[in-house]
Amino acid sequence: MAEGKDHDKIIGHLESEVHTLNSLVGKLFEKNDLLYDKMDSFMQEVRPKPMSFNMVLGAAVSILTVFALLFGSVIYIANSANAPMFTQLQVMNTNIQGVSNTATQNTALIQLSNQKMSGVMNKVTSNEDTLRWLLFDENLPKQLTQTVGRVDTLEVLLNELRSKK
C-alpha cells in the first residue's frame, strides 16, 4: 500500500498542478480576451474612416501642389541654366541691329553722294562747252590780240627810244 500512497500523493500533486494550470490558462484566456478587446478598440480608432469630398479635394490639391513645385523647380533650373546664353544672344542681336543700322545709313549716304556726283557731272558736261567758248573762242584770242597789240606798241616805243638816242 505504500505504493498506493505514493500514487495518491502523485495524483494529488498532479491534480493540484492541473488545477493551477487550469486557473493559469483561465487567466491567460482572460488576459488574451482583454488584449483582443484593447486591440479591437485601438483598431477602431486607427481604422480608416470613409473619405469625404473635402478629404479627396485636399488630397488632390496637395498632389497638384507637389507636382507644381517639382515642375516649377525644373523650369527655374532650366531658365537659370539658359539665362547666360539668352543674354549673349540679346547682346549679339543688339550688335547686329547696330551694324544693320550703320549699313543702312552708309547706303543712304552713298546714294546721296552718287546723286550729288551725278549732278556735278551733269553741270560739268553742260558747262564744258561754255568753258571752251570762254577760254578758246572768246577770251584767249581776245587776250592774245590785246597782248600782241601791247607788245607791238612797246616795240614801237622801244624803237623810237633807240632811234632818239
| Secondary structure letter of residue 47 according to DSSP | S
In a domain, 147, yes or no: no
Cell numbers 592774245 correspond to 144
Nearest-angstrom CA–CA distance, 128 and 62:
94
Nearest-angstrom CA–CA distance, 71 and 164:
125
Domain that holds residue 34: 1-47
In a domain, 26, yes or no: yes
Residue 162's pLDDT is what?
87
Phi, psi at 74, each rounded to 5°: -65, -45
- pLDDT tens-place string over residues 48-101: 677 788 888 999 999 999 999 999 999 988 888 888 888 899 999 999 999 999
Mean pLDDT, residues 127-135: 74
In a domain, 144, yes or no: no
In a domain, 32, yes or no: yes
- Whether residue 1 is predicted with pLDDT greater than 60 in this model: the reply is no
Q: How many domains does the structure of the chain reveal?
A: 1
Nearest-angstrom CA–CA distance, 24 and 35:
16
Nearest-angstrom CA–CA distance, 21 and 17:
6
- pLDDT tens-place string over residues 142-155: 788 889 999 999 99
Q: Which grid cell sits at 130?
A: 561754255
Residue 47's pLDDT is what?
67
